Chain A
């Protein structure tokens, strides 16, 4: 019953669908103009992302590609709405991918698509499963390419993977074991593989910075001296944490005559 109604509605659209193959041809020059390599206009957000990616701290124990937290972008670019919108258009153009993290409320990690694919490659190489190989390929070509949101429903994952071949339940557990998907009742969240220890360091580092400032008499410190401090519990450097906390509103910066001052915000 549903199929016939769908056919009925598509009949009205048939004419447009015939026209559609011709459209991409006229669109070709447009695509080339707007591809990232040729695009000479950089948005503030893209510049900030590239800068922070270059400044990502080197972690010795884990090999992880650079990622940026959303709150760090908010601390660098003044207008938050503009950041959100530019990030959204970058995501739609498949330049970056956004992942929801489970550290705290509404934390998102942004990773350039190339970095994410490299990270996936490294993880898959290490696993070396025989039948598993195909699942990762299907995942990469069908799911990552078409599903740009941070989460996916079970049915949809199943159907997208089936575009590659016969999917068994064991395949999906392979993906979960590799750390590419996180299970939630009825849906899956995309995740960055091998990131667990870094996330633990992230939340511990946040707590350490906040408790350090809270212990001080006036709950503030000069930014210059803060940046030189080393963190005991986090592999990520102080600058990473400061940007994150300032962007999420836990800390605020005040301009003084001797430089920037970092203060715990009370609200």
Chain B
């Protein structure tokens, strides 16, 4: 690290690469924090964690005992152990006793993306509440047809403030805070919708994962979904390879969105080494005449409901888009984690070595800022995988029971994880003071 500082001083290293190097070094040394502790007031499993997107200062957690709490992760409320361990107690808690609080478990608690004045909670009691943080009062309430599994708001949105809600009902509903009504209903899934995420590259695109195993991309400005991910459409690498006879072949093979006939994005580049030109493409001849009669009865936007492609063999339990919006990670109850190329809609076939993933409950994945690592709750441990090769980089064992959610704060390079053991654990790189003390005295003296 000193060498890097010296290089930066001399101008050999650029500022941006200096910061990324320091950050990635710190991320590689994450361990359970010995100087920070979050005291959780929850009396049941923690289902959702999120640090606010504006300042990166306040952590919001939602638990199964219908309580939601906010903690300040930058300033401690008090210190223990002679000033060495910072204890972060919650700033406030809203639970069942609150007059408009939820009655059953809170499955999702998110901040309003613009500022920390509002937060939104979705619960198994079929309600989504919008709370005012300063007065801790419910300002708006939406009633859903089923248990709410996930809520999401777009952090890029400048023209809308829609809450996307995935419930046990097959339709995804978009609730508008400005008007207090439902603005959209997206149909296409065949079973409940366990995860919803807004795209990180467009404020109009929503990605949903259902219990039927399908992942659908919706553009909310039009009807129906424009992309359904199919696990059998795959590409060999991060981006599809450019075919040799690129001009002619591309025109022939890019029939993906022509006149709304088939809504699977087909892989474009397998031309190079194939013995025959159409190795993997389903022959369009076979598809069309059979479906012609059905097609005439459906609105072109609703054709996607005929598409039964699945992204996982079980339910889709977690989704996470990378910061640049080009890739999507999905976790399923078939214990597989898949990386999808959003542009081509293909499975990049990166194999993440997961033995078992929790099924039946949505899990929250986290990625580090440059999207090189993904943190996945695997049963009682959290594993960090390298996104491009699928190798396990680190394993974080500390929870006593299943881990449900994790959130990575890129400002502090800290990971917060919450699980069924009612604890929120903080994983942080060791402090400089500790490193020096270990180096000089050779004795680990944490609590004097």
Contact = CB atoms under 8 A, between A and B. Distances in A.
Given A92-B279, A159-B286, A265 B261 contact: no
Contact of A159 (B245, B270, B289, B379): B289
Interface stretch (B203-211, B216-224, B291-299): B291-299
A5 B349 CA distance: 35
Interface centre among B279, B313, B350 (most CB of A within 10 A): B279
Interface in B242-280: 245, 248, 251-252, 255, 258-259, 261, 270, 273-280
A34 B244 CA distance: 15
B270 A92 contact: yes
Nearest to B285: A159
Nearest to A267: B355
A23 B349 contact: no
Contacts of B351: 74, 80-81, 83-84
A93 B349 contact: no
Interface string A7-40: 0010001001101100110000001001100000
A129 interface: no
Interface in B287-321: 287-292, 295-296, 308, 313-314
Given A20-B248, A84-B351, A9 B258 contact: yes
B84 interface: no
A2 B295 contact: yes
B245 A267 contact: no
B238 to A, nearest CB: 11
Contact of A6 (B259, B273, B353): B259
Interface stretch (B8-16, B53-61, B88-96, B229-237): B229-237
B335 A106 contact: yes
B274 A92 contact: yes
Nearest to B278: A146
A10 to B, nearest CB: 9
B378 interface: yes
B26 interface: no
A147 B282 contact: yes
Contacts of B379: 267
Contact of A92 (B280, B282, B378): B280
Please classify how large the interface on chain A is, using the bins under 10, 10 to 19, 20 to 34, 35 or more. 35 or more
B239 interface: no
B334 interface: yes
A6 B232 CA distance: 26
Nearest to B291: A155
Contacts, number: 111
Contacts of A31: 275-276
Interface string A126-147: 0000000000000000000011
A71 to B, nearest CB: 11
Given A5-B259, A159-B289, A88 B282 contact: no
A124 interface: no
Given A2-B261, A105-B313, A249-B355, A85 B279 contact: no
A148 B355 contact: no
Interface string B405-426: 0000000000000000000000
B389 interface: yes
Interface string A154-166: 0110111000000
Interface centre among A2, A79, A149 (most CB of B within 10 A): A2
Please classify how large the interface on chain B is, using the bins under 10, 10 to 19, 20 to 34, 35 or more. 35 or more
A80 B274 contact: no
Interface in A148-184: 148-151, 153, 155-156, 158-160
Contacts of B166: none
Contacts of A23: 245, 248, 277
B259 A156 contact: no
Interface string A233-247: 000000000000000
Nearest to B389: A81
B381 interface: yes
Contacts of A5: 259
A186 B295 CA distance: 18
Interface string A59-82: 000000000000000100001110
Contact of B280 (A148, A156, A267): A148
Contact of A94 (B275, B289, B349, B390): B275
B441 interface: no
Given A9-B258, A81-B349, A106-B335, A267 B286 contact: no
A106 B283 contact: no
A231 interface: no
Given A6-B261, A187-B308, A267-B378, A16 B251 contact: yes
A89 B236 CA distance: 8
A248 B252 CA distance: 40
Interface of A: 1-3, 5-6, 9, 13, 16-17, 19-20, 23-24, 31, 34-35, 74, 79-81, 83-85, 88-89, 92-94, 105-106, 146-151, 153, 155-156, 158-160, 186-187, 248-250, 265, 267
Q: Which 9 residue pairs across A and B have the least CB separation, nearest first?
A: A80-B351, A249-B355, A159-B286, A84-B349, A155-B290, A5-B259, A149-B232, A85-B236, A81-B351
Given A159-B289, A249-B355, 10 more contacts: A6-B258, A81-B350, A84-B351, A85-B237, A93-B274, A106-B334, A150-B232, A160-B283, A160-B286, A267-B381
27 contacts: A2-B261, A2-B288, A2-B296, A5-B259, A16-B252, A17-B252, A20-B252, A31-B276, A74-B351, A80-B390, A81-B350, A84-B350, A88-B236, A92-B280, A93-B273, A105-B313, A105-B334, A106-B334, A146-B283, A153-B308, A156-B286, A158-B290, A159-B289, A160-B286, A186-B308, A249-B355, A250-B355
